Amino acid sequence: MGTYGYDKDFFAARGINTVELKSVDGAARVLMVPAWQGRVMTSTTGGRIGPSYGWINHDFIASGQFNPQFNSYGGEERFWIGPEGGPFSWFFPKGAEQVYAHWNVPSILDSDPFTVEAVCDTAVRYVARASLENASGRRFEIGFRREVSLVSGQEAESLLGVPLGAGVRAVVYRTDNSLTNEGSFAWSRETGMPSVWLLGCFNPTPTTTVFIPYDPVCPGRIVNDAYFGKVPSDRLKVSDGVVYFKIDGAFRSKIGLPAGSARDVCGSYDPVAGVLNILKYTAPSGPCDYVNSQWGEQEDAFGGDVINAYNDGPTETGVVMGPFFEIETSSPGAALEPGQTLTHTQYTMHLEGSPAALDPIARAVFGLSLGTVMSQF
């Protein structure tokens, strides 16, 4: 357990069909399950014996259970849509109090398969369609399209603006996630708008830190840390243009950065495992409406966050869902006329190496040293 080969065999032993992308030398690999919306379950830099980067809920999957409310399969990148709460939620029926008992994940985001439209060794394209009603009672006809492609080392270096170096092992993949208005009316602030919402589950450790650069001249709040109660100062620091968030799977907490604050990149670092994770996504220029996923009454349904990070831990009942941690990115709300499409692109990069090998990358991409990251908590 903990290796990519273990996880690939785990799905095969249970008859769960997977799609695998791999580099020419077989070292960089990405494993997906089409039946779970083409989600990336895990990836590796080292072939079958390499580390498995995605958090997978082995016990739940092995049990064969089905939960009509939500099936917690895990996976390091899944395609959802926002908002989760508020007047335009996709997760609560019209008129229902927005509490957990009434919360349901639409089946197209949970248990309905995406269709594999095309596949080769380094790329795959999925498609799906759904008719969904939001919490305001408006029904939407939505087309889904998801393309996952393995990114070469040369392309990754061009994207980051820095050589990876001989001492760095890498797996980098890109996903292009699209929503198409297949209905008869325009999607707007008045009707509500879906957004592309990508959520990645990873394995926490006592030495992992998530770090998210922000715009120091942003006019409003820098970070929202009140999702599950205010995050204490020994777990969250805001300093010199960077938000630092302690990740250990032992304290349930979540943060988010809004459009005025967030930049187009974020990361995490674990010095013990020697892994630097980088998520980079498409950020549109100019003002945009980002949907608000807060449950219940909202002051602003379009004042949501662009980047989120979640640290798992015991709930009020003492139950721990994972533990895992999440990094999430969102597109703006899809203000689309019939027939139009919005696409949100994200790059996920797992870079493994010594501190000396990884530090130049962190300095070039984030403008800070890994020593600075390590010293925060």
What span, in angstroms and rounded, lies between the C-alpha atoms of 149 and 10? 23
Contact 284, 334 (CB under 8 A): no
Nearest to 320 by CA among 17, 42, 55: 55
Within-domain flag for 290:
yes
Say which DSSP state 3 is in: B
Burial class, 97, CB count within 10 angstroms (exposed 0-12 / middle 13-18 / buried 19+): exposed
Structure tokens at 5: 């080969």
Cis peptide before 68 (omega within 30 of 0): no
Q: State residue 260's pLDDT score.
A: 87
Q: State residue 219's pLDDT score.
A: 79
Within-domain flag for 204:
yes
pLDDT one-digit tens code per residue, 194-221: 999 999 999 999 999 999 999 988 878 8
pLDDT one-digit tens code per residue, 286-338: 789 999 999 999 999 999 999 999 999 998 888 888 999 999 999 999 999 99
3-state SS, residue 217: coil
Within-domain flag for 238:
yes
Within-domain flag for 7:
no
Q: State residue 297's pLDDT score.
A: 92
Parent domain of 364: 67-374
pTM over 0.75: yes
The residues of the chain scoring below 50 in pLDDT are none
Within-domain flag for 45:
no
Sort residue 85 into left (φ over 0), alpha (ψ -120 to 50) or beta: beta
Within-domain flag for 50:
no
Within-domain flag for 276:
yes
Within-domain flag for 209:
yes
- What is the widest separation between alpha-carbon atoms in the chain? 58
How many independent structural domains does the chain possess?
Answer: 1
Q: State residue 73's pLDDT score.
A: 97
Task: Report the DSSP pairing between strands 115-119 and 78-82.
Answer: unpaired
The CATH number of the domain holding residue 211 is 2.70.98
Contacts of 240 (CB under 8 A, 6+ apart): 216, 368
Report the chain's terminal Cα–Cα distance, integer Å.
Answer: 28
